[in-house]
Amino acid sequence: DGGITQSPKYLFRKEGQNVTLSCEQNLNHDAMYWYRQDPGQGLRLIYYSQIVNDFQKGDIAEGYSVSREKKESFPLTVTSAQKNPTAFYLCASSILAPGEDTQYFGPGTRLTVL
């Protein structure tokens, strides 16, 4: 079964600790994305990557970091510099081809910082 997996589903951390969220896809998609979702605010783009070893900041990149060492994997690190990290984090991927703009989403990770 092809798809996007995110782990863990729920994550609890103490304030001041860095934490890494996993995102893996076996769809052979070129592009991968990280979004943050807060109640009443929709989805906001954190980082995205179109190719291995390259990534770009989205609209709210401050306090986050990513890597893209493999096509299948795009982990997100929430650093202690992120002032309000408690949120639902969604990973997505898409093909980079004309007419293929659809982003497919993983099940999400809910991060709670205590």
Partner 1 sequence: AQSVTQLGSHVSVSEGALVLLRCNYSSSVPPYLFWYVQYPNQGLQLLLKYTSAATLVKGINGFEAEFKKSETSFHLTKPSAHMSDAAEYFCAVSAGEGFQKLVFGTGTRLLVSP
From the CB of 48, what's the least distance to partner 1, in Å?
7
**Residue 63 interacting with partner 1 (CB under 8 A):** no
The footprint of partner 1 on this chain (CB under 8 A) covers a number of residues equal to 28
How far, CA to CA in Å, does 58 sit from each of 44, 67, 99, 114? 8, 14, 22, 26
- Rounded (10°) CA dihedral 72, 77, 78, 81: -140
At 31, list the tokens. Answer: 């592009």
Closest of 48, 47, 74 to residue 60, by C-alpha: 47
Q: Which helix (H) or strand (E) holds 4?
A: strand 4-7
Residues 73-102: x/- map of binding to partner 1 (CB under 8 A)?
---------------x-x-x---x-xx-xx
Residues 10-49: x/- map of binding to partner 1 (CB under 8 A)?
---------------------x--------xxxxxx--x-
Binding site for partner 1 (CB under 8 A): 4, 6, 9, 31, 40-45, 48, 50, 58, 88, 90, 92, 96, 98-99, 101-108, 110
